[in-house]
Amino acid sequence: MCSIMGFSRKTLTPEEIRPYFDRTLSRGPDMSRIVETPNGYLCFHRLAIMGLTEAGMQPFQLGGDYVVCNGELYGFRPLKRQLEQQGYTFRSGSDCEILLPLWREYGLEMFARLDAEFALVLYDGATGSLVAARDPIGIRPLYYGYDRAGAIVFASEPKNLVGLCRKVFPFPPGHYYAQGKFVRYADPAAVARDYVTGDLDTICREIRNRLIAAVDKRLDADAPLGFLLSGGLDSSLVCAISSVILGKKIRTFAIGMDTDAIDLKYAREAADFIGADHTEVYMTRDEVIAALPEVIKLLGTWDITTIRASMGMYLCCKAIHRDTDIRVLLTGEISDELFGYKYTDFAPSAAAFQQEAQKRISELHMYDVLRADRCISVNSLEARVPFGDLDFVRYVMSIDPALKMNTYHMGKYLLRRAFEKDHLLPESILWRQKAAFSDAVGHSMVDDLKAYAEQRYTDAQFEQLSRKYDYCRPFTKESLLYRELFEQVYPGQAAMIRDFWMPNRAWKGCDVADPSARVLSNYGASGL
């Protein structure tokens, strides 16, 4: 994954910076460096994925320019050959080494040209100032704040900035920072033209081809690959497509509670069908409860849904890091935001469905994408998210929302139909109703967390402690427990998260008091 920091001024010494920077050493355990620029510092912890030799260590330098980047630049090899023809030379196999030549050629226009998941900080020698940017969805994390002297500081995670900056802010996705201003350069959720309409066969063929291309480009790695497989549609498709493209047995991993794991049987069925080398990881109630403070610390959130869904992912990735040599994990995130959740079955209109999808895409960096990044990176692994491919996202968002709404008695119908004729998966997986990951690892997990919170507080204590919080006040004992644990590590930083992730409570059928899809009337047999 890698960890980066950038300081616009030398208000601290490298020795004073080091303790803050090393809070995210797990993101890049291979090699560390703090480089002094004429006006400040750039810091880099490396997890070697592309160009594994020491020559791929950052910051990269070109003349008076420097850059640190946590990212994957897809299609970098032809770009590199083009730049070599223009006279640039390269010393490593790292994809990120092309950034400074691109900066020389295109300046701030470079960011809109990148097909990438990235967060970067660049020292521009011509102006003597920092430039920072983040990918359009926010798949790679970036935060900022101002130190006591008023200098701006950028970092991969909020934990780097707590105690260094009074307030910590998420760097907005699809923006760059230059000359003291944040400028939006891309919004993949916006539809800049008329909706795509027409016959479903053509639309589904486009969905299929673009997803295959998205998976294909994410299989390029110099380090070993693995795959998270929940047994749901999204991760199963990513695994099945990858298995065909690679033409060999892939390594898949699934996790569930030791008492009532729902997804494990479906994950095993999908893995057996595609011929994967499959590993099952079991977790217990005691492990979940014991891991809760650490999970909230690594996440930097108090949101109920994010924390619940992180328990299984964190413990699964912990086992992968402990027991294997895998460095890169492909995951199935970002499909729900595009094709719909269980609750979006209640959308009152196509326009409302589209508006909800745009909202969810714009907030991904605070919820599902945050969860995947932290659970994976804290275990010194890198996440790759094919459903977050920019070309794929832009196309799906451009499809007439009336076609994406669940009028087919089956959620995500277009995605399922797109792969119906390929027979990549068993029918029981391809047409399985969606189950929420935090529930499908075992209903007992969420029930155990709720019961644990109930034991921690009396009703009177809940009322008293909840009133301490004006911003996003806890509304259950579970949410109070999470907020209290969050404030121990990130005091006064709750505004980094916009709100509780909840179904759209303004819609009929969605006015619920818990974010779990289990409480919705249309959940049915999804969790069986």
Is 127 in the same domain as 234? no
**Number of structural domains in the chain:** 2
Which of 49-53, 310-314, 403-407 has the least mean pLDDT?
Answer: 49-53
The pLDDT of 459-466, averaged and rounded, is 98
How high is the mean pLDDT of the chain? 95
Is 105 in the same domain as 236? no
Is 205 in the same domain as 179? no
Domain containing 417 equals 200-451
User: Among 189, 188, 172, which residue's Cα sits nearest to residue 133?
Assistant: 172
Is 35 in the same domain as 142? yes
Please say which residue of 133, 158, 184 terminates a domain: 184
Q: Let me know the angle formed at the C-alpha of 398 by 395 and 403, rounded to the nearest 5 degrees.
A: 105
Query: Cα(11)–Cα(32) distance, rounded to whole angstroms?
Result: 21
What percentage of the chain reaches a pLDDT higher than 90? 92
Q: Give the three-state DSSP class for 508.
A: coil
194 lies in some domain: no
410 DSSP assignment: S
Is 62 in the same domain as 128? yes
The residue that leads in pLDDT, 519 or 348, is: 348
Residue 528 has pLDDT above 60, yes or no: no
Query: Cα(309)–Cα(286) distance, rounded to whole angstroms?
Result: 17
Instruction: Answer positive or negative: Cα dihedral of 363, 365, 366, 372.
Output: positive
523 lies in some domain: no
Query: Cα(139)–Cα(384) distance, rounded to whole angstroms?
Result: 9
What is the reported pLDDT for 12? Answer: 95
Is 435 in the same domain as 336? yes
474 lies in some domain: no
Q: Residue 502: which pLDDT band, with cuts at 50, 70 and 90? A: very high
Is 160 in the same domain as 273? no
Q: Residue 524: which pLDDT band, with cuts at 50, 70 and 90? A: low
The total number of residues shown for the chain amounts to 528
What is the reported pLDDT for 527? Answer: 56
What is the reported pLDDT for 439? Answer: 66
What percentage of the chain reaches a pLDDT higher than 70? 98
Is 116 in the same domain as 142? yes
pLDDT in tens, 112-167: 999 999 999 999 999 999 999 999 999 999 999 999 999 999 999 999 999 999 99
499 lies in some domain: no
Is 299 in the same domain as 382? yes
pTM for this one? 0.96
Phi, psi torsion values for 281, nearest 5 degrees? -120, 130
Which of 351-360, 364-373, 434-443 has the least mean pLDDT?
Answer: 434-443
Please say which residue of 143, 160, 184 terminates a domain: 184
pLDDT in tens, 84-96: 999 999 999 999 9
CATH at 110: 3.60.20.10
193: left (phi over 0), alpha (psi -120 to 50) or beta: beta
The pLDDT of 495-502, averaged and rounded, is 97
Please say which residue of 119, 153, 184 terminates a domain: 184
Fill in the amino acid letter for 419.
F
CATH at 350: 3.40.50.620
Beta-carbon count within 10 A of 126 CB: 10
467 lies in some domain: no
39 lies in some domain: yes
Joined together, the tokens standing for residue 29 give 């355990």
465 lies in some domain: no
Residue 510 a catalytic site member: no
Is 390 in the same domain as 247? yes
Fill in the amino acid letter for 397.
M
DSSP 130-147: EEEEE-SS--S--EEEE-
Residue 240 has pLDDT above 70, yes or no: yes
pLDDT in tens, 251-278: 999 999 998 888 899 999 999 999 999 9
User: Among 388, 480, 494, which residue's Cα sits nearest to residue 158?
Assistant: 494
Is 445 in the same domain as 386? yes
pLDDT in tens, 349-365: 999 999 999 999 999 99
Query: Cα(66)–Cα(395) distance, rounded to whole angstroms?
Result: 35
pLDDT in tens, 169-189: 999 999 999 999 999 999 999
Is 222 in the same domain as 180? no
Q: Residue 423: which pLDDT band, with cuts at 50, 70 and 90? A: very high
61 lies in some domain: yes
